[in-house]
Amino acid sequence: MPEMTLIEAVRQAMDEELARDDRVFVTGEDVGRRGGVFRATLGLFEKYGPGRIIDSPLAELSIVGIGVGAALYGLRPICEIQFADFIHPAFNQIVNEAAKMYYRSNGEWLVPLVIRAPYGGGISGGLYHSQSVEAFFAHVPGLKVVIPSNPRDAKGLLKSAVRDPNPVVFFEPKKGYRLIKGEVPEGEYTVPIGPANVSRPGRDLSVFAYGMMHYYCLKAAGTLAGEGIDVEVVDLRTLYPVDKAAILESVRKTGKALVVYEDNLTMGYGAEVAAILADEAFTSLDAPVKRLAAPDVPAVPFSHPFQEWFMPNPDKIAAAMRELAAY
């Protein structure tokens, strides 16, 4: 299998879906000749033309609003939001329109829409180019929320998202765009939206993560393996709908749980995982459910030392794993 970066896998998924289905189009800021600010659409404008790779104005509510209308008309839009930090002007279109259309119409109106956005910190982007906003959207029934952690899943999950009859918010860990590499199968394949994946089996404790934090958790688990601590790492992949069965199965085996995410700690996505375990796996727990996340400050600082203080990293994760294993 060929090896590629996460951003290459995202680009290949869009390329294949554009070739497969002429209803698919991409729109967003600078997605055309420039190929996007992260080059996710590089080469697609030349291949598919301005009618399917469409540069938009700097207006996120219009990008998504047009996407909702086009999806209702029967097209398959992929709307790129340049940074997840900029998605908030489109919150009404995503939450009040796209997410509720199927429900309000008793299943008559479908919105096969994909909203892609790079999220997360660690790139020295400061306050407005580093935010993690997944918890806002994972709260909304009617939306699927997907965050891949590796190239294989990025391609397969994005292809599934394009083919889904209802809206999918697809966040991509921007720090991992060129850092994370992996083998990607040749030929046609998809990865189903919904199921989590046990990326590293273990017996001593379970760690749940997604996106860039999953990559860091695997590194930390490798470190602890040399210390005789066997960590099971579960890649959640789909934040909503939640794969409760996979979460519960893992903790019922290991008895201990750590949830890692780079959003602010309070009311972040890890709180939902902790609640599921407290509610449905209480008698299997040998220790309190622990969370490792960013501190409760408004955003990732621009200063490099403060950024390192804010962001979870493999060393911090390994320390939290040791503490939980010793409980």
Report, as residue numbers or ranges, the catalytic residues: 129
Strand partners, 78: 26, 114
CATH number of 3-183: 3.40.50.970
- Average of pLDDT values for 165-192? 97
Q: Is the bond preceding 241 in cis, omega lying within 30 degrees of 0?
A: yes
3-state secondary structure of 66: helix
Which of the four pLDDT bands, split at 50, 70 and 90, describes residue 50? very high
pLDDT tens across 83-98, in order?
Answer: 999 999 999 999 999 9
pLDDT score of 1: 86
Contact 231, 205 (CB under 8 A): yes
- Average of pLDDT values for 48-64? 97
Mean pLDDT of the chain: 97
The CATH architecture one would assign to domain 197-325 is 3-Layer(aba) Sandwich (3.40)
Q: Over pLDDT 70: what percentage of the chain?
A: 100
pLDDT score of 188: 95
Q: In this structure, what DSSP letter does residue 207 have?
A: E
Contact 226, 237 (CB under 8 A): no
Which of the four pLDDT bands, split at 50, 70 and 90, describes residue 5? very high
Per-residue burial over 244-263, b = 16 or more CB atoms within 10 Å of its CB, e = otherwise: eebbbebbeebbbbbbbbbb
pLDDT score of 172: 98
- Average of pLDDT values for 168-191? 97
Backbone angles phi, psi at 203, to 5 degrees: -125, -15
Please choose, from the candidates 253, 248, 250, 249, the residue with its C-alpha nearest in 3D space to the C-alpha of residue 278. Answer: 248
> For 21, how many CA atoms within 13 A lie in the half-sphere containing its CB?
16
- Region(s) of the chain under CATH 3.40.50.920: 197-325
- Region(s) of the chain under CATH 3.40.50.970: 3-183
- Average of pLDDT values for 132-148? 98
Longest Cα pair distance anywhere in the chain, in angstroms?
59
pLDDT score of 34: 96
Angle between the N-to-C axes of helices 314-325 and 211-225, in degrees from 0 to 180, rounded to the nearest 10: 60
Backbone angles phi, psi at 64, to 5 degrees: -75, -40
Question: Got the DSSP string for 216-259?
Answer: HHHHHHHHHHTTT--EEEEE--EEES--HHHHHHHHHHHS-EEE
pLDDT tens across 6-18, in order?
Answer: 999 999 999 999 9
pLDDT tens across 107-124, in order?
Answer: 999 999 999 999 999 999
> For 113, how many CA atoms within 13 A lie in the half-sphere containing its CB?
32
Other beta carbons less than 10 A from residue 129's beta carbon: 21
